[in-house]
A and B are shown apart, each in its own frame.
Chain A
């Protein structure tokens, strides 16, 4: 699996968009970008994934650069409940979940 690099921490004002970057410059053509988050004292929760097109669901949007070397997770209107550690993971879709979770980005949403 390709290695990812994320900033260790970010702050965001409540109600504003939170943009969380991830660098994956060694990504291979068949590797997807996945995002999970972990709220304190809970297990990680899946958010979104994509290959090369931008993706949106009810939780977030995923923007992947054209060269696929980086991506951004966007929480359009952050709330206090979005305070969590966000993990960016890159892996082959058929790989049975042998994912490497690094330290992620701790997002703190402030009132």
Chain B
């Protein structure tokens, strides 16, 4: 019954490495999102996409990029990982209105940058 799948639950990378976080949804949702979650800061939106090849910056896009080549897949890219990007990363998807505009989240990917 998994609907939003994040490719890795736990990753450990070194400073300067390029990191790819993959997210796939099987609900035919138009919208997809990447958040990061840090203690005391809640969930913060990094990027989102409302259509294939479309993307918009969220609240904290610096240091990140995204790719959406297919409707079901939304990738988050850290071009050169830094220690301050150690975090829990959450992918979510939703329908466009008038569909039920609620977020379905994946289980999260915990990234540690050494």
- Bound CA span A34–B104, Å: 13
Please tell me if B8 contacts chain A, counting CB pairs below 8 Å. Answer: no
Inter-chain contacts of B108 with A (CB < 8 A)? 41-43
Q: In the complex, how many angstroms separate the beta carbon of B27 from the nearest chain A beta carbon?
A: 13
B91 vs chain A, min Cβ distance (A): 8
Interface size for chain B: under 10, 10 to 19, 20 to 34, or 35 or more residues? 20 to 34
Stretch at the interface among B14-22, B43-51, B68-76, B79-87: B43-51
With a cutoff of 8 Å between Cβ atoms, the chain A residues found around residue B33 in the complex are: 97
User: With A96-B94, A97-B92, A103-B40 as given contacts, are A46 and B58 in contact (CB-CB < 8 Å)?
Assistant: no
List 4 extra interface pairs beyond A44-B105, A95-B101, A99-B43, CB under 8 A.
A44-B103, A97-B48, A100-B42, A101-B43
B11 close to chain A: CB less than 8 A? no
CA distance A34 to B102 in the complex (A): 8
Chain B, interface SS category:
strand
Closest to A49 in B: B102
Looking at chain A's contact residues, the main secondary structure is loop
Chain A 76-102, CB-CB to B under 8 Å as 1, else 0, gives 000000000000000001111111111
Map CB proximity to B onto A38-71 as digits: 1 under 8 Å, 0 otherwise.
Answer: 0001111110010000000000000000000000
Please indicate the chain B residues that have their CB under 8 angstroms from the CB of A49 in the complex: 102
The residues of A that contact B35 with a CB separation of less than 8 Å are: 101
Chain A residues near B4: list those with CB within 8 A. 43
